[in-house]
Amino acid sequence: TVYTCILLISWVGAHMIVASGNNAALGLTTGNLTSMLAYCMNILMNLMMLSMVFVMITMSMASARRIAEVLNEKPDITNPEDPDFDVPDGSIEFKNVTFRYNSKSEKPILENINVKIKSGETIGIIGGTGSAKSSLVNLISRLYDIEEQAVKDGEEPIESYVSIGGKDVRSYDLETVRQEVSVVLQSNVLFTGSILDNLRWGNPEATDEECIRVCKLACADEFIERMPDKYNTHIEQGGTNVSGGQKQRLCIARALLKNPKILILDDSTSAVDTVTDAKIRKAFREEIPDTTKIIIAQRISSVQDADRIIVMDDGKINEIGTHDYLKDNNEIYREVYLQQTNDNGDFDKNGGEM
Ligand SMILES: Nc1ncnc2c1ncn2[C@@H]1O[C@H](COP(=O)(O)OP(=O)(O)OP(=O)(O)O)[C@@H](O)[C@H]1O
Ligand SMILES: [Mg+2]
C-alpha cells in the first residue's frame, strides 16, 4: 500500500506539474509534491504502526495463555491429607518398586526394586549410563511417585512403597522430606551472589561458622581461602567463575548445610580430583556418621569403601555387595573395576593409534 501510494502520488503529481507548465500560480510545483509525499509517508508509517499493534496483541495473547496454562498446572505430587512431619531416622526401603516416567510406555524404567538401607549406612551405586541410577534416588526425595501395582482378580494386592525411617514417603509432608533428604543433583546450579548467599540456599538461617564447617567437610574451604574475598567472593550467574570441581564442592557444602538425615550425591564428585574425593569421603565417614549417604559414581574409587554397593543394570538391581565381593563375583562390576585399574595407560600403548 505504501509503495502504491508513493507511485500514484508521484505519477499524478508529475502530470499536474507538467500540465501547469512553469506557472506556479496555476497548479502544483515540485516543492509542493515533495512535501505532499513526505506528509503521506508520515501518515502511512503511522498506519503501519497501528497494524503492528494488532499483531503484537495477538502474539502476547498467545503468550499469556501459555503462562496461565503453566500457572494453573496441578502438580501430580501433592501433600497427603494428614501429613507426617517427623522423620525418625535415615533408613530407606524400596519394596517391589516399579516406575515409569510415562505411564503409557511399555518397558518400566525401574523394575521390581527391593532393597533395605540402614540408617547411617554408606551406599554406592554404580552402573552404565541410562541404567536408572538417578531415577532410583529421585524416588527417595519423592520427586516422582512410584507406580501402583495392578491387582489381578482373586490375587492378594502386592504391597509396593518407598519408605524413609520406616514410613511411606507419601505419608510425609513434602517439605519435610525435601528438608531431610538432601540431594546434590547431577547438573547443579549456582546463583549470582556471594559464596555465603549460595550456601544459604540450603538453610537461610545458617551462621557463618556453620557455612565454614560444611565447606571444610566438602573440601571447599581450601580454594575459597585462596580467593581474594574469601567467603564473600562473588559468583557469576550459573557459577561461570568457578571450575567444575569447585562448583560441585560448593553444591555438596550447600546440601550438607541442611543437616539432612539422608544425603544423596548423584555423580557429584565426577569433576573433583581423586585425592580430594577421598578426603571428602573420609570427612563424611568421620563427621556425619549418622547420615545415610548414597553415592552415585562412575569411578570405582568413589564407591569402593562404601558399606555396600548396588550394581544397576537396565533398571534392575544386578547385585548388591561389598567391593571385595563384587570384584570377584559380579561380571559388570569386575569389568568396570579392571578397566579402571589394570588397563590404565592403554592409551599410550598403541602409540596414539585411533
Ligand atoms: N524426566 C524424564 N522423563 C522421561 N524419561 C526419563 C527422564 N529422566 C530419565 N529418563 C529415562 O530413564 C532412563 C534412566 O535414566 P537415568 O537418568 O535414571 O539414568 P542414569 O543411570 O542416572 O544415567 P547417567 O549415568 O547418565 O546419569 C533413561 O533411559 C532415560 O531416557
Ligand atoms: Mg544420572
Q: Delimit the domains of the chain by residue range.
A: 2-72, 92-148+157-343
> How far does the chain reach from its first CA to its final CA, in angstroms?
64
State the ligand closest to the CA atom of 138. 1
The minimum-distance atom of ligand 1 relative to the CA of 138 is 18
> Nearest to residue 122, comparing CAs of 308, 320, 250?
308
pLDDT at 152: 65
Residue 109 Cβ inside 6 Å of ligand 1? The answer reads yes
Residue 101 Cβ inside 6 Å of ligand 1? The answer reads yes
Fold exhibited by the domain 92-148+157-343: Rossmann fold (3.40.50)
Q: Which residues of 68-93 are buried (b: 16+ CB within 10 A; e: fewer)?
A: eeeeeeeeeeeeeeeebeebebbbbb
Other C-beta atoms lying within 10 Å of the C-beta of residue 140: 21
Other C-beta atoms lying within 10 Å of the C-beta of residue 193: 16
How many whole angstroms from 265 Cα to the centroid of ligand 2? 10
Q: In this predicted model, what pLDDT tens digit does every residue of 115-167 receive, in sequence order?
A: 898 888 899 999 888 888 888 888 888 888 887 776 666 677 778 888 888 88
How many whole angstroms from 136 Cα to the centroid of ligand 1? 10
pLDDT at 38: 92
84 vs 110: CA distance, rounded Å: 27
Share of the chain above pLDDT 90, in %: 11
Residue bearing the CA closest to ligand 1, atom 17: 134
pLDDT confidence bin for 229, thresholds 50/70/90: confident
Share of the chain above pLDDT 70, in %: 94
